[in-house]
Amino acid sequence: MSSIRFLRTFIAVARYGSFAAAAERVALTQAAVSMQMQALEAELKHPLFDRSGRMASLNSTGRAILPRAEQLVALYDDMRAIGADANDVIGSVAIGAVVSVMGALASMVAQLKVTHPRLEVRLITARSLDLAAQLEAGEIDAALVVEGSGKLPAGLAWTPLYSEPLVLVASKKTGRAPAAQLLRTQPFLRFDRSQRTGALIERTLRKHRWAVNDFLELSALEAIVELARQNVGVAVVPLLRNNSWRGDPTLRVLPLPPSTPRRVVGMLERREHDRHAITAAIRQRILDGIA
């Protein structure tokens, strides 16, 4: 139904503030989004946006229509589910994930779509704090994030899924030197301390009283591991579940003391939303995959 597609696009424009931003979310060109909105305005016989340069903010009519549009799209998704197999997963959902988790999430979603072809999943990558803000704003339905140390907002629910140990990575050229010695003597490649994983690594260094020689601070775990592989320095990183580091002939992966904290990854979602069945299916597929 073209009207439902137009309403989905209208909702995306309302959420993201421009035709260009909405185009990225609904997998259309900016020109296609513009044409759909013109058609929707013609059908409703009233402008819906105040257009200013690249921005498109809702006017009073658009603001009045938005909640009704969201209800119609949700009802349509429910209608699609009527008569389906009780175990089928149908509908659309937006799931966020931190970069280091996205690979595993995308793989799980691809497997889920094989058995549930009427499932539509949009994946978004951002930092944990940014994903939490998008959840609260209703821009996404759930997110796979790293557990934080702060208090969880009242409207959000957290479900831990799995944990990853912190390890030290270094080039094979460092020989047999133990982790503590490498941390004392080699340049240290640090993960961004403004992110939850970086803060966890910093707490670990302090817990063990490891004084390191800071060299670079980066926001991409794979880039840090690549630099360690090239013998630029050493790093403390979580042992990602979908990694192949242990089998890399150029890389050393050294365990840290058993008392070292682990990185916990879980699903964050709003306590009240209309996509619980879909997010629960994705959560269960992840749990099944790591069992």
Confidence of residue 262 (pLDDT cuts 50, 70, 90): very high
Q: Is 257 within the bounds of a domain?
A: yes
The reported pLDDT for the residue numbered 119 is 79
The reported pLDDT for the residue numbered 88 is 57
Confidence of residue 241 (pLDDT cuts 50, 70, 90): confident
pLDDT > 70: what percent of the chain? 92
Q: Indicate whether 137 pLDDT > 70.
A: yes
Which of 27, 51, 82 is the last residue before a domain boundary? 82
Which of 36, 62, 82 is the last residue before a domain boundary? 82
CATH number of the domain encompassing residue 64? 1.10.10.10
Q: Indicate whether 291 pLDDT > 60.
A: no
Q: Around 233, how many Cα atoms within 13 Å sit in the side-chain half-sphere?
A: 19
Which of 59, 82, 105 is the last residue before a domain boundary? 82
Q: Is 196 within the bounds of a domain?
A: yes
Q: Indicate whether 173 pLDDT > 90.
A: yes
Q: Indicate whether 260 pLDDT > 80.
A: yes
Domain total of the chain: 2
Q: Is 215 within the bounds of a domain?
A: yes
Q: Is 126 within the bounds of a domain?
A: no
Average the pLDDT over 7-20 and give the result. Answer: 86
Average the pLDDT over 164-190 and give the result. Answer: 96
Tens digit of each residue's pLDDT (9 = 90 or more) over 206-220:
999 999 999 999 999
The reported pLDDT for the residue numbered 86 is 47
Interatomic CA distance for residues 275 and 268, integer angstroms: 13
78/167 same-domain check: no
Domain range enclosing 178: 163-263
8 Å CB contact between 219 and 192: yes
Tens digit of each residue's pLDDT (9 = 90 or more) over 18-67:
888 888 777 678 888 888 899 999 999 989 998 776 677 889 999 999 88
The reported pLDDT for the residue numbered 238 is 97
Q: Indicate whether 254 pLDDT > 60.
A: yes
Average the pLDDT over 259-273 and give the result. Answer: 89
Q: Is 288 within the bounds of a domain?
A: no
Q: Is 241 within the bounds of a domain?
A: yes
169/258 same-domain check: yes
Q: Is 16 within the bounds of a domain?
A: yes
pTM recorded for the entire structure: 0.70
Q: Is 253 within the bounds of a domain?
A: yes
Q: Indicate whether 159 pLDDT > 50.
A: yes
